[in-house]
Structure formats: C-alpha cells, structure tokens
Amino acid sequence: MSDTSKPPVGGITVHETADSTIARLWGEIDEALRHEAGAALSRTLDRNLSVVIDTRDVTFIDSTGIAFLIQFCTVGREEGLTVSLADPPAVVTEVLDLLGLTHMFDAEPVDRSVQGRITQIDA
C-alpha cells in the first residue's frame, strides 16, 4: 500500500527564547492552517513576552493568512505585548501595503493602564 498523503505546503511553528516568542510562518499561509494558527496564537500569548512574527519563508498568503497576522498583532497589543513582523517578503508586504495595514506592525503595545479609557470614535 502506498502512502498517498501529501507533505504540508505551509505551516506555523512557535519557537521560544528567553526574551521573546517567535511565530515562524512558512510556505503557503491559507485556510488550511486555521487550526495551527489558533494554537500558535494561544501558545505565544501565554508566555507574556514580546512576539516576533517571522514570515521570511512565506511563499503565498491569502486573506485568511492576512487575517491571522492582523489578529496576532491586535490581540498581542491588547495584552500589552510588542508584536513585530521580521523581514517579511514581498508577497506579504505587497498585500499589507495594498490593504493599508503596514502601519499595524510599527505601533507600540497598548498600555493596559489606559486601555479602559480608550473610546471608539466613528468617522
């Protein structure tokens, strides 16, 4: 009987260092990685250290992948963590630029002491 399973074409792994947590994304980042993305987000935020999202080996990213990056950044910042995007390839930066989201990865973490005082202003 032959093995008909295909090797993964993309993935998300989490590597822990003493002062940060690195979420490494590689290959094709799409809907197929939804479960991995949720597990990576949970594991990363549990450590309460700065987060680095390493996308240098991403070859394709769809709207689900971009939503994951946005969620990672938003939730991390709400928890008061620094979230950075390290050396993103053109396939990632072009989509972020097109959507006007590049600035998200330059912002400082939310200060928990003022978080409750922030009010939303609708334009």
Name the residue with tokens 């309460």: 48
According to DSSP, the residues that pair with 11 across neighbouring strands are: 26
* pLDDT for the residue numbered 102: 85
Please give the domain boundaries of the chain with CATH numbers for all domains.
10-115 (3.30.750.24)
Roughly what angle, to the nearest 10 degrees, separates helices 63-78 and 34-46?
Answer: 20
pLDDT of 49 > 80? The answer is yes
Q: Which residue has the higher pLDDT, 123 or 77?
A: 77
Residue (of 78, 72, 74) closest to 33 by Cα position? 72
pLDDT in tens, 13-37: 999 999 999 999 999 999 999 889 9
Do 97 and 66 meet the contact criterion of CB atoms below 8 Å apart? Answer: no
Do 64 and 34 contact (CB within 8 A), yes or no? Answer: yes
Question: Which of 5-9, 54-58, 115-119 is the least confident region?
Answer: 115-119
Give the pLDDT score at 17. 92
